[in-house]
């Protein structure tokens, strides 16, 4: 989860853009020399200095910043966050630089207004020179673009050497956060306590390429947020974040924070694109989806957790779930914003839910002595739970976060904030067994996760955005760092093992940075890494011609996790391809219509009807396909029809008369193997069916919805609860089986005769209580087989005969009579 607080203005400086073109330099110099004797009666304007005859660099065409050469003044530059600005004769070029002194915080630096000057999608280059003379031998300075509220900034850092003029240059393609910038300024990193004076010169910000033309756009519903063939994000029709796995009855469930709820609450433009950043404050539900093959995901809707109607109505929010099964019960932990962690208990992954404590497990059940002793320093977030049960049955709860905690003079962070904890759980999984123990994760921010592989424990977490990376000691910013240990409670800084996953922006580009949250797990023999990225929002923004305008709404992904020979984690690569399907999909059953590998246009809605496929959910968590328009589709991957399907049926609620559903193979425009008429009374649930022709073997299947003639283009056509295919009856081999018995030396002998009445040769297997025999039968031939019972009496029973000839098959039971030879 991200910080539960809006970031206050940080002590940081942000780079600015040039707007003034410096014309007439020669005339300015000449004027200065000529007027030297006559100007004594006039005072120099504030922030200016009379210049000597020094050659100035040429003006930068198209500079969006005030004049960054500082020829004779600092017009347009301000010290918005404290400090003083003055011209200095120590310049990188020309007569003067701009000196920053008496800095009050890391943001004390030169500011320039860039409001309305940066265009989304265009490419820009910012350049400048900087020098400092006190402090560390090397120091990072950030050239930053930031909104006037200092929330959602774009920092570009560069390391300079003391006593030398150094050069900074950075190109970037503008995202929404750049276009929203009100300030460009220069700062030292937040939390660094680096407040030395410094000077800047030759500052510029110029557009070097226009934004490319964007494709025509109709509506967000028609944006393919998960292209056919991709397996990430897991679903394309809703947001989800902070994913955590649960394995229940052999099926994989993924819980996530319901970002869709915040999207529905926040402001949007006329097209539905969010204009307000996520914020998380309205989120009271947790998403649930499941799979058995890693590609086809069933949307089970949400678990209502907080406020009225929720499982824990006393709580305000439900973020960052962590779930685990024990003795048939599901223990679902969540954070109530940053104030604490709670738990509800379910009879299945979808409930029903009970609240065993009626309050937060953290901090409300922690010993008062631990808290009074400073166990939770000021600023520590008590959120982002992780639950883990070791092989010996011992349970553990991990929680906490923030990049800096404590009060002066005992402030910790951002290198080693020590802001997370682990505590043992008693057997009931809701009672703490002792006091929490401090974790020293280098560069810690949030998102604790624990995983065991072999005999090693892997504790992973999201690194903060202020940590200074030192390979082998401190992680890169905003990544997933991890530690390796032999004890799930022994997590000192020496256990640090590296970075498993870089920030999502590394892999997915504009609009996909921000907070990171992950979970590692093994399922059906493979090890996986689930995380979130802003790919659905990025697809929307790109379609609208505003790339990067994602506003922090996230989607769940899964990629493979692999290990080196020494047990360390190979760097995980975030992909849109995702992971492979691990088993074929069985269509010969009733399965949920909201089983989705891909979709376009359709959404899901809750229904009170219990799920046919998931009776173990105790009547909860059933959804239907909804918001279905003409041309929308739902796709299922890797469907194995075997020898062939005969029919397909669907439980539907028609919303208009005359609609239909085409069943297509391999592509949205692929072969039509069935067309289901959506008959029945409008507004009433019914089951409809159609014959299937040509569906054999394994294929991707697309259910494509068609409106009747004359229907409005945006008319909702139907809701669908479930699908079912029926297999075509197999062609049978014509075998005739007869039985008899005889007495041989006082013992019963069972005789089984098989006649091949078909026109092709066949193989047959005869199974009796007294043995098994295989026979080969030419067309029209008969074979008799005897089985010694070694008894004088035979009880009535059956023999089983199976046969095969190419695609033909036979299977049947034939009775035999009792017999006595005594």
H helix or E strand, kind and range, residue 526: strand 526-533
Q: Which of 100, 77, 97, 89 is nearest to 52 (CA)?
A: 89
Q: Is the dihedral of CA 6, 9, 10, 16 positive or negative?
A: positive
CA dihedral 294, 297, 300, 306 (to 10 degrees): 60
Strand partners, 802: 765, 811
Q: How far apart are the first and last CA of the chain?
A: 82
SS (H, E, C) 24-73: CHHHHHHHHHHCCCCCCCCCCCCCECCCCCCCCCCCCCCCCECCECCCCE
700 part of the active site: no
Question: Count of residues for the chain?
Answer: 822
632 part of the active site: no
Q: Is the dihedral of CA 461, 467, 473, 475 positive or negative?
A: positive
Q: Are the C-beta atoms of 654 and 678 separated by less than 8 Å? A: yes
Q: Which of 130, 133, 155, 140 is nearest to 68 (CA)?
A: 130
Contacts of 119 (CB under 8 A, 6+ apart): 174, 179, 207, 210, 211
Q: Distance between CA 181 and CA 204 in Å, rounded?
A: 16
Q: Distance between CA 696 and CA 56 in Å, rounded?
A: 78
Tell me the C-alpha to C-alpha distance, in Å, between residue 684 and each of 33, 85, 689.
92, 74, 16
H helix or E strand, kind and range, residue 539: helix 535-543
Strand partners, 326: 329
Could you give the angle at the alpha carbon of 650 between the alpha carbons of 648 and 654, nearest 5°?
135
Contacts of 746 (CB under 8 A, 6+ apart): 792, 821, 822
H helix or E strand, kind and range, residue 540: helix 535-543
DSSP letter at 473 equals: T
Q: Distance between CA 188 and CA 171 in Å, rounded?
A: 20
Surface-to-core class of residue 506, CB atoms within 10 Å of its CB (0-12 exposed, 13-18 middle, 19+ buried): middle
DSSP characters over 733-765: P-EEEEEEEEEETTEEEEEEEEEE-SSS-EEEE
Q: Are the C-beta atoms of 253 and 323 separated by less than 8 Å? A: yes
Q: Distance between CA 126 and CA 132 in Å, rounded?
A: 20
SS3 772: strand
Surface-to-core class of residue 351, CB atoms within 10 Å of its CB (0-12 exposed, 13-18 middle, 19+ buried): buried
Q: Distance between CA 602 and CA 220 in Å, rounded?
A: 11
Q: Are the C-beta atoms of 421 and 489 separated by less than 8 Å? A: no
φ/ψ (deg, to 5) at 424 = -75, 150
Q: Of these residues, 446, 559, 719, 758, which one is catalytic?
A: 446
SS3 212: coil
Q: Which of 223, 211, 216, 198 is nearest to 13 (CA)?
A: 198
Q: Which of 185, 62, 183, 205 is nearest to 126 (CA)?
A: 205
Q: Which of 513, 599, 542 is nearest to 271 (CA)?
A: 542
Q: Of these residues, 242, 519, 592, 632, which one is catalytic?
A: 242
Question: Which sequence positions are flagged as catalytic?
Answer: 242, 446
């Amino acid at each position: 989860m991200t910080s539960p607080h809006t970031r206050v203005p940080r002590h940081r400086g942000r780079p600015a853009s040039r707007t003034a073109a410096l014309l007439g330099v020669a005339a300015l110099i000449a004027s200065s020399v000529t007027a030297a004797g006559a100007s004594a009666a006039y005072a120099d304007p504030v922030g200016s200095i009379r210049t000597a005859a020094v050659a100035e660099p040429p003006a930068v065409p198209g500079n969006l910043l005030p004049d960054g050469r500082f020829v004779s003044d600092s017009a347009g530059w301000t010290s918005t966050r404290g400090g003083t600005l003055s011209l200095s004769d120590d310049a990188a070029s020309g007569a003067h630089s701009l000196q920053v002194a008496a800095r009050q915080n890391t943001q004390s630096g030169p500011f320039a207004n860039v409001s309305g000057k940066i265009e989304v999608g265009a490419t820009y280059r910012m350049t400048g020179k900087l020098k400092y003379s006190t402090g560390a031998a090397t120091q990072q300075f950030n050239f930053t673009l930031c909104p006037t509220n200092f929330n959602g900034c774009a920092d570009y850092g560069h390391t300079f050497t003391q006593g030398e003029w150094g050069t900074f240059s950075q190109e970037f393609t503008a995202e929404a956060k750049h276009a929203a910038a009100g300030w460009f300024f220069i700062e030292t990193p937040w939390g660094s306590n680096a407040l030395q004076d410094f000077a800047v010169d030759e500052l510029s910000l110029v557009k070097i390429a226009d934004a490319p033309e964007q494709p025509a756009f109709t509506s967000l519903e028609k944006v393919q947020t998960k292209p056919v063939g991709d397996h990430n994000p897991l679903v394309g029709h809703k947001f989800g974040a902070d994913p955590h796995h649960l394995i229940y009855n052999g099926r994989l469930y993924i819980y996530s924070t319901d970002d869709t709820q915040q999207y529905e609450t926040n402001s949007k433009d006329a097209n539905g694109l969010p204009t307000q950043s996520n914020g998380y404050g309205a989120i009271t539900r947790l998403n649930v989806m499941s799979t058995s093959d890693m590609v086809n995901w069933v949307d089970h809707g949400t678990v209502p957790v907080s406020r009225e109607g929720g499982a824990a109505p006393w709580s305000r929010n439900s973020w960052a779930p962590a779930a685990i099964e024990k003795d048939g019960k599901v223990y679902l932990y969540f954070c109530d914003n940053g104030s604490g962690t709670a738990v509800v208990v379910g009879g299945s992954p979808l409930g029903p839910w009970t609240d065993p404590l009626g309050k937060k497990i953290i901090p409300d059940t922690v010993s008062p002595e631990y808290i009074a002793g400073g166990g939770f320093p000021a600023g520590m977030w008590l959120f982002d739970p992780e639950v883990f049960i070791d092989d010996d049955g011992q349970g553990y709860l991990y929680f906490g976060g923030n990049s800096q905690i404590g009060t002066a003079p005992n402030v910790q962070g951002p290198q080693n904030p020590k802001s997370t904890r682990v505590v043992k759980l008693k057997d009931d999984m809701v009672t703490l067994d002792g006091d929490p123990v401090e974790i020293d994760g280098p560069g810690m921010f949030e998102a604790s996760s624990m995983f065991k592989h072999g005999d090693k424990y892997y504790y992973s977490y999201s690194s903060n955005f202020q940590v200074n990376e030192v390979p082998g000691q401190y992680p890169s910013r905003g990544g997933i760092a991890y530690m390796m240990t032999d004890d799930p409670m022994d997590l000192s800084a020496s256990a640090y093992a590296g970075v498993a996953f870089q920030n999502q922006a590394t892999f997915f580009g504009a609009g996909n940075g921000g907070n990171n949250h992950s979970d590692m797990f093994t399922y059906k023999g493979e090890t996986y890494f689930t995380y979130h990225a802003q790919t659905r929002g990025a697809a929307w923004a790109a379609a609208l011609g505003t790339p990067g305008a994602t506003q922090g709404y996230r989607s769940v992904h899964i990629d493979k996790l692999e290990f080196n020979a020494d047990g360390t984690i190979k760097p995980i690569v975030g992909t849109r391809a995702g992971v492979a399907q691990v088993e074929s999909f069985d269509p010969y059953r009733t399965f949920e219509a909201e089983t989705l590998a891909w979709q376009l246009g359709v959404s899901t809605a809750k229904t009170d009807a219990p799920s046919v496929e998931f009776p173990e959910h105790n009547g909860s968590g059933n959804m239907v396909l909804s918001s279905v328009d003409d041309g929308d589709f739902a796709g299922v991957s890797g469907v194995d029809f075997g020898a062939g399907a005969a029919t397909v049926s669907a439980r539907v609620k028609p919303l208009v008369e005359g609609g239909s559903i085409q069943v297509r193979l391999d592509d949205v425009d692929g072969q039509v193997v069935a067309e289901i008429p959506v008959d029945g009374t409008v507004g009433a649930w019914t089951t409809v069916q159609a014959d299937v022709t040509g569906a054999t073997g394994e294929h991707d299947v697309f259910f494509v919805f068609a409106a009747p003639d004359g229907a409005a283009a945006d008319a909702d056509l139907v809701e669908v609860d479930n699908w079912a295919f029926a297999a075509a009856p197999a062609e049978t081999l014509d075998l005739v089986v007869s039985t008899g018995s005889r007495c041989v030396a006082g013992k019963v002998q069972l005789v089984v005769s098989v006649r091949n009445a078909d026109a092709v040769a066949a193989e047959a297997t005869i199974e009796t209580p007294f043995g098994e025999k295989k026979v080969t039968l030419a067309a029209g031939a008969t074979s008799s087989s005897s089985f010694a019972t070694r008894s004088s009496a035979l009880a009535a029973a059956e023999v089983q005969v199976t046969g095969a000839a190419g695609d033909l098959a036979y299977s049947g039971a034939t009775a035999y009579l009792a017999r006595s030879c005594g």
